[in-house]
């Protein structure tokens, strides 16, 4: 190459094409020659090499894939092509049918999209099909000579230096700053996937969402290792922050608190480099939630209070953080702090506020807001006030469309409504709330549901209800449900 550029980068490929053109190669032969060079000289895996040689982004390649199949809505996405390119080290193994379509997109044969490590991991049936297919005539691989060494720069104070050499290469060096391994389509795709998964969480198995978020995190961190413009770098950092915070939240729902704390630490590090207040709110919201459910209420309250220091003008409302602060203090029965936080929340609560938009994952719905208020009040002895909040939470939950409901809210509201009835000496009211849970599959619920079942069972087995057969039977049934879910 005439100048030192990153192997495999767009400037590298452009210079390689210029050299091939100078040698008389026609334009139609360029992609194959470029792909071979990227594979041999740059050690880029075949599927990635052919896409880059075709000068296609992941999303444009997916668009062409759908066009080749004859159905623009076929569903291929840039993220799936990226997963194909990561295999076999990670990612997803492409089927032979998918390889054939990709080969048409790139203008090659499907066998050229497989390297030695791919072949070693292919199922026997696919390997047999590989060997049964006739070999295509291969173009000879071009070896790239070592780039000529650049002349050593002399001191700018060298009086004998010609004026023509002063600043030589400065423009080329500056232009390198405009080169990027990211385009707006890729960034839009990352944000779109995050927004989709944030909305799908209420109706999809947590394990599935966690796995899909992990793919987004891998993509964004991989892109960050390349060169971007400053704004693109910040966008990738924000994607990393939000994705890691969402993963931490979900890992906590699954009871994996060690993983949650590690993910939240990664998310906070992303925010420090992005220097973005909204991102800091995302992470503090997730950290406060994980701290509370892992048993550190005071830390949860302090994290939530710190999150309120980052003012972002309505995109992520104060309500989730204020209620997290109240809930954190409630764990140590700090009644003045709880009541103060509940009063602050009441003064800003908007009954019509939904949880739509790009931050809906963290902007919790009305049913969850009133539930959090109720649990905080219940923990400091305000059972009647808590019961009113749970009643409002129940009404709000039932008004939500089925796809907007978080299914864990129904058992959580029932459990804590039952606890409020117990505090008011209403055992029958508590039983009426809790008995429907015994007919459900508790194993499918998040960890906090099972934790609260154990708390309720303990309260039913306490001195106040020890002589009541209804309480004893209900406590035993709840413990059985809770313990069987752990098996």
Question: What are the tokens at 281?
Answer: 């709110």
pTM of the full structure: 0.63
Dihedral sign, CA of 250, 252, 255, 259?
Answer: positive
DSSP 191: H
Provide the pLDDT for residue 71: 61
Give mean pLDDT, residues 233-251. 95
The answer to whether 278 and 248 have CB atoms below 8 angstroms apart is: no
Instruction: Place 435 in a pLDDT band, splitting at 50, 70 and 90.
Output: confident
Query: Is the peptide bond preceding residue 88 cis, with omega within 30 degrees of 0?
Result: yes
* Largest distance between two CA atoms of the chain: 104
**How many Å separate Cα 34 from the centre of its chain?**
34
Question: What are the tokens at 188?
Answer: 């839009």
Q: For residues 299 and 307, give the distance between their C-alpha atoms in angstroms, rounded to a whole number.
A: 12
The residue behind tokens 């990226």 is 82
Is residue 176 scored above 70 in pLDDT? Answer: no
Is residue 255 scored above 50 in pLDDT? Answer: yes
Provide the pLDDT for residue 137: 44
Give mean pLDDT, residues 170-191. 72
| CA–CA distances in Å: residue 119 to residues 45, 129, 131, 135 | 12, 11, 11, 15
Spans of all domains in the chain: 10-132, 183-275
Question: What are the tokens at 395?
Answer: 């009404």
Instruction: Tally Cβ neighbours within 10 Å of residue 403.
Output: 9
Instruction: Place 173 in a pLDDT band, splitting at 50, 70 and 90.
Output: low
298 phi and psi angles, rounded to 5 deg: -65, -45
Is residue 220 scored above 70 in pLDDT? Answer: yes
Mean pLDDT of the chain: 83
Q: For residues 483 and 487, give the distance between their C-alpha atoms in angstroms, rounded to a whole number.
A: 7
Instruction: Place 265 in a pLDDT band, splitting at 50, 70 and 90.
Output: very high
Entry field: residues in the chain:
487
Cβ neighbours for 209, distance < 8 A, ≥ 6 positions apart: 197, 200, 201, 250
More confident call, 287 vs 76: 287
Give the DSSP H/E element, type plus range, for residue 83. Answer: helix 78-86
């Amino acid at each position: 190459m005439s100048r030192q550029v990153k192997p495999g980068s767009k400037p590298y490929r452009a210079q390689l094409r210029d050299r091939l053109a100078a040698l008389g190669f026609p334009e139609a032969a360029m992609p194959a020659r470029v792909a071979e060079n990227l594979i041999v000289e740059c050690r880029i895996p075949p599927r990635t090499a052919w896409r880059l040689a075709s000068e296609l982004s992941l999303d444009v390649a997916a668009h062409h894939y759908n066009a080749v199949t004859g159905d623009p809505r076929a569903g291929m996405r840039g993220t799936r092509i990226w997963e194909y390119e990561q295999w076999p080290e990670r990612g997803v193994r492409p089927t032979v049918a998918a390889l054939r379509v990709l080969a048409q997109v790139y203008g090659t044969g499907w066998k050229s999209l497989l390297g030695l490590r791919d072949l070693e991991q292919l199922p026997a049936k696919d390997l047999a099909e590989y060997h049964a297919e006739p070999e295509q005539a291969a173009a000879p691989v071009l070896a790239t000579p070592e780039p000529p060494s650049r002349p050593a720069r002399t001191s700018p104070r060298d009086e004998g230096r010609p004026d023509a050499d002063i600043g030589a290469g400065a423009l080329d060096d500056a232009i390198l700053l405009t080169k990027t391994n990211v385009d707006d389509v890729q960034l839009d795709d990352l944000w779109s996937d995050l927004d989709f998964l944030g909305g799908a969480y209420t109706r999809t198995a947590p394990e599935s969402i966690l796995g899909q978020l992990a793919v987004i995190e891998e993509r964004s961190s991989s892109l960050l290792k390349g060169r971007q413009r400053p704004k693109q770098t910040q966008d990738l950092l924000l994607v990393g922050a939000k994705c890691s915070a969402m993963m931490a939240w979900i890992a906590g729902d699954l009871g994996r608190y060690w993983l949650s704390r590690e993910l939240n630490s990664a998310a906070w590090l992303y925010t420090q480099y992005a220097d973005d207040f909204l991102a800091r709110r995302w992470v503090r919201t997730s950290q406060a939630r994980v701290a509370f459910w892992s048993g550190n209420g005071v830390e949860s309250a302090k994290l939530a209070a710190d999150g309120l220091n980052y003012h972002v003008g309505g995109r992520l409302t104060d309500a989730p953080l204020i209620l997290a602060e109240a809930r954190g203090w409630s764990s140590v029965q700090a009644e003045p702090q709880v009541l103060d936080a509940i009063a602050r929340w009441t003064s800003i609560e908007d009954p019509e506020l939904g949880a739509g938009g790009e931050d809906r994952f963290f902007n919790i719905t009305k049913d969850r807001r009133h539930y959090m208020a109720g649990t905080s009040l219940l923990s400091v002895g305000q059972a009647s006030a808590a019961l009113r909040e749970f009643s409002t939470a129940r009404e709000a939950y039932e008004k939500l469309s089925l796809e907007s409901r978080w299914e864990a809210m129904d058992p959580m509201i029932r459990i804590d409504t039952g606890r409020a009835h117990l505090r008011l000496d209403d055992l029958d009211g508590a039983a009426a709330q809790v008995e429907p849970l015994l007919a459900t599959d508790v194993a499918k619920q998040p960890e906090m549901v099972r934790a609260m079942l154990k708390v309720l069972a303990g309260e039913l087995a306490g001195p106040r209800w020890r002589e009541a057969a209804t309480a004893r039977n209900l406590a035993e049934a709840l413990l059985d449900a809770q313990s069987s879910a752990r098996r």
